[in-house]
Amino acid sequence: DAKMHRHSVRLAVASSLGAGVVAGLLSTPGQTRSDFTTALWSVARGFPSLPLPRLTVTVMADEAHAQEAHIIDGKAIAKQIRLEIKQHVVDLQREHALTPGLAVVLVGNRTDSSTYVRMKKTAAAEVGFYSVDKQFDETVTEEELLSCVRQLNADPKIHGILVQLPLPRHIDEARVLESIKVEKDVDGFSAENVGNMCLRGGKPPLALPCTPAGCIELLQRSNVKVSGKEAVVIGRSNIVGMPVAQLLQSMDATVTVCHSRTANLAEHVRRADVVIAAIGRAEMVPGNWIKPGAVVIDVGVNSKPAPNTKRGYALCGDVKYDEAKQVASAITPVPGGVGPMTIAMLLKNTLNLARHSIDLPRIPLRRS
């Protein structure tokens, strides 16, 4: 609140209250909106004969006061992370003759999955990784898929294995994912990695879930203070909600996890200094739920009708961006916020698994 609304204010009072009555109220730098409201109400109470509807106050703030939220540029931050990873790869190749290797297993021809795999392959090439693609028809058997994973587990040039989801219904996803060795679990979803992420004082996980780790990187690299703050995570999925809540708690935030059955959801969100929206519902969170000065990380990728566009739809997040950016101190856009970070963190996980393979320490998430 103070960060967003600190300003010097001039008052024009159009009522039977003269300017002299309120001259000392708010000419001081450092006042906030809430300070102003409290002070003005105190003055008004001193004039019981004055009809409150007639009290009209115009606040003319400095330009800084009218500033919108800082836009957290996920594309730019992801690019910086890729540059750092590329340098680590150069160092590994020079000092240890090791090139990180990433294998991606794709089943079927879903357009979204194929596009995502292509983006991962491009990013892997950009940072100098060795990459392998294993592609199967929808009719692949579970045993064929398991055999592929076993071969990749045994390949010393491969340090990270990613099975692109969803898989066809006739395949047991859990069984396939559990067959990936923890040392090559590039998604960070194995029970061992998740357990180590949740334990205090134990071994660190070999890899972290990519999207939650990307959220933390965005906060860290935007110099957002998390320790001692109230954080609300909207969504409790195993992929985003629960891991990101655990990571925030490990950074000494006080974390509330909300979900579809949470009563009075708006009240929880309004208390939050940091909001992570990962519920998967288009523009569910309006701007008036956001605490002034809060930081908003919008994980959602949804579509909404846009009849005047070529595609007929537009991408949007879980938060009403145009409203929230008027209130928040910082916010991620959709697209261009969390999305690019997911692939960047996949690369970072692969790098860490390659380092682990020769007993080098992992590169941790940055800490403020």
Q: Would you please indicate which residues are annotated as catalytic (active-site) residues? A: 120, 164, 187
Contacts of 46 (CB under 8 A, 6+ apart): none
Q: Is 231 left (phi over 0), alpha (psi -120 to 50) or beta?
A: beta
Minimal CA–CA distance to 142: which of 111, 116, 112, 174? 174
Contacts of 166 (CB under 8 A, 6+ apart): 113, 173
State which amino acid sits at residue 1: D
Could you give the C-alpha distances from 63 to 5, 10, 209, 287, in angstroms and in order? 11, 13, 41, 21
Q: Is 228 left (phi over 0), alpha (psi -120 to 50) or beta?
A: left
User: In whole angstroms, what is the distance from residue 297 CA to residue 282 CA?
Assistant: 14
Contacts of 242 (CB under 8 A, 6+ apart): 236, 257
State which amino acid sits at residue 170: H
User: In whole angstroms, what is the distance from residue 190 CA to residue 181 CA?
Assistant: 9
User: In whole angstroms, what is the distance from residue 295 CA to residue 113 CA?
Assistant: 31
Minimal CA–CA distance to 315: which of 290, 296, 332, 291? 332
Measured between its terminal Cα atoms, the distance across the chain in Å is 21
- Tell me how many degrees the CA angle 83-299-199 measures, rounded to the nearest 5: 80
Could you give the C-alpha distances from 290 to 55, 57, 161, 271, 286, in angstroms and in order? 28, 24, 39, 8, 8
- Tell me how many degrees the CA angle 212-218-219 measures, rounded to the nearest 5: 95
